[in-house]
Amino acid sequence: MARPGRPPKEKPDLHPMVDSFLDMLTTERGAAMNTRQAYWRDLADFSLFLREKNKKEVIDATADEIKFYLDDLANKIHTKGSNKNQIATRTVARRLSALRQFYRYLVSEDVRKDDPTTTIESPKQTRTLPKTLSEAEVDKLIKTAGQGGGADSVRLVCLLEMIYATGLRVSELVGLPLSALGENLEFLMVAGKAGRERMVPISESAQTAIKSYLDVRKQHIGLDDKGQQAQWLFPSRTSESGHLTRQRFAQLLKDLADAAEIDADRVSPHILRHAFATHLLSNGADLRSVQKMLGHADIATTQVYTHIIGDKAKETVEGKHPLAKKTGSK
């Protein structure tokens, strides 16, 4: 979807092997649609660059051409924005990772005999700690959301309470079917990345918010196509999917942050997920339990949160968890 005020861009025709690779990600690896779209954007950018500069298709790229593309990408990013070095490094590393997987796939399918990315080193990335909010700031957001009145306010409070109580990814939260609510609203059944299903407990305050929201939920269901919208916990009359979108929830949070007099750049669905993890660990939660609730496949991913909690809390978390002592932070 194009941003407001911008005409939609025509989707370019890429080499058929790009679609084949994306289909493999979805069918064999269980990649989510958002992941598929991210890979498509990365491969499309390189494909169009290669066509313009070298008049070649992506399946024929050489290592030198890939290096030139990555250097050009980094230089373009270096010319704009704050934290430009960090942004450039992350973007180049992600783009190279996508290209690596694509060319490995071409080799596995006998489309190519060689992988041109094998001689290209990933840029070294400095550790960046997850942004988060204090417990007082989260409380302020929830209280401010409740002051609006009406069904929209009740829904926003519910969204905040749920993401802060469960640590769900934003795509998981907005895409929850109504059937995900467990008996007595004590837990959620969540289908996460690669189809991994997990059960996540719901706090009492979140249960209360859900009950209040369910009383007004029908106001977000339009008269047309009720069936499609009614299946979602957070239906929407205006989105094509029938449920609230990630973008709309993010915008609601930005508006809420302004109303609560909190820097809007510090408030997003993902930052609330970070707050869930850091606040649990700060209060002595078990690292493995937090890992399971976040849906992380690797505990090292969860361990990054121990770097932003107080030393005393960190000692409690790591002291109680043998695996945390053995696993190096990554």
Stretch 161-187: mean pLDDT: 90
Same structural domain for residues 161 and 79?
no
Stretch 155-176: mean pLDDT: 93
| pLDDT(325) > 50 | no
State the pLDDT confidence band at 197, using cuts at 50, 70 and 90.
confident
β-strand pairing of 187-191 with 197-201: antiparallel
Q: Answer yes or no: is 181 within a domain.
A: yes
Structure tokens at 289: 């339990």
Instruction: Give phi and psi for 136, each to the nearest 5.
Output: -65, -40
State the pLDDT confidence band at 328, using cuts at 50, 70 and 90.
very low
* Predicted pLDDT of residue 85: 62
Same structural domain for residues 85 and 173?
no
Share of the chain above pLDDT 90, in %: 46
**Angle at CA 304, nearest 5°, toward 197 and 132?**
90
* Predicted pLDDT of residue 245: 93
β-bridge partners, 199? 189
Domain count, the chain: 2
Q: Which domain holds residue 160?
A: 135-326
Distance CA 255, CA 131 (A): 19
What's the CATH code of the domain at 191?
A: 1.10.443.10
* Predicted pLDDT of residue 307: 62
Same structural domain for residues 162 and 68?
no
- Domain ends where: 108, 143, 169? 108
Same structural domain for residues 61 and 157?
no
Same structural domain for residues 143 and 212?
yes
Q: Answer yes or no: is 128 within a domain.
A: no
**Angle at CA 127, nearest 5°, toward 124 and 128?**
125
From residue 257, alpha-carbon distances to 134, 136, 138, 152, 191 in Å are: 13, 13, 10, 16, 29
Q: Answer yes or no: is 115 within a domain.
A: no
- Domain ends where: 108, 125, 159? 108
Q: Answer yes or no: is 41 within a domain.
A: yes
Q: Answer yes or no: is 196 within a domain.
A: yes
**Angle at CA 326, nearest 5°, toward 101 and 301?**
40
Same structural domain for residues 140 and 95?
no
Distance CA 201, CA 214 (A): 18
3-state secondary structure of 201: strand
Q: Answer yes or no: is 160 within a domain.
A: yes
Taking the model in full, what pTM does it have? 0.63
Tell me the average pLDDT of the chain: 82
β-bridge partners, 185? none
Q: Answer yes or no: is 311 within a domain.
A: yes
| pLDDT(292) > 90 | no
Same structural domain for residues 210 and 65?
no
Same structural domain for residues 27 and 102?
yes
Q: What is the pLDDT of residues 58-107, one digit of tens each?
A: 999 999 999 999 999 888 875 554 455 666 788 888 999 999 999 999 99
Which are the catalytic amino acids?
169, 193, 270, 273, 296, 305
Same structural domain for residues 206 and 306?
yes
Concatenate the DSSP letters of all residues of 90-151 into one string: HHHHHHHHHHHHHHHHHHHTTS-SS-TTTTPPPPP----PPP---HHHHHHHHHHHTTS-HH
Sign (positive/negative) of CA torsion 218, 219, 220, 225?
A: positive
Helix (H) or strand (E) holding 8: none
Distance CA 82, CA 87 (A): 9
Q: What is the pLDDT of residues 19-49, one digit of tens each?
A: 999 999 888 877 778 889 999 999 999 999 9
Same structural domain for residues 212 and 316?
yes
| pLDDT(321) > 50 | no
Same structural domain for residues 187 and 291?
yes
Stretch 177-205: mean pLDDT: 84
Q: Of 297 and 212, which is predicted with more confidence?
A: 212
Among left, alpha and beta (phi > 0; psi -120 to 50; other), residue 242 is: left
Q: Answer yes or no: is 277 within a domain.
A: yes
Same structural domain for residues 235 and 303?
yes
β-bridge partners, 200? 188
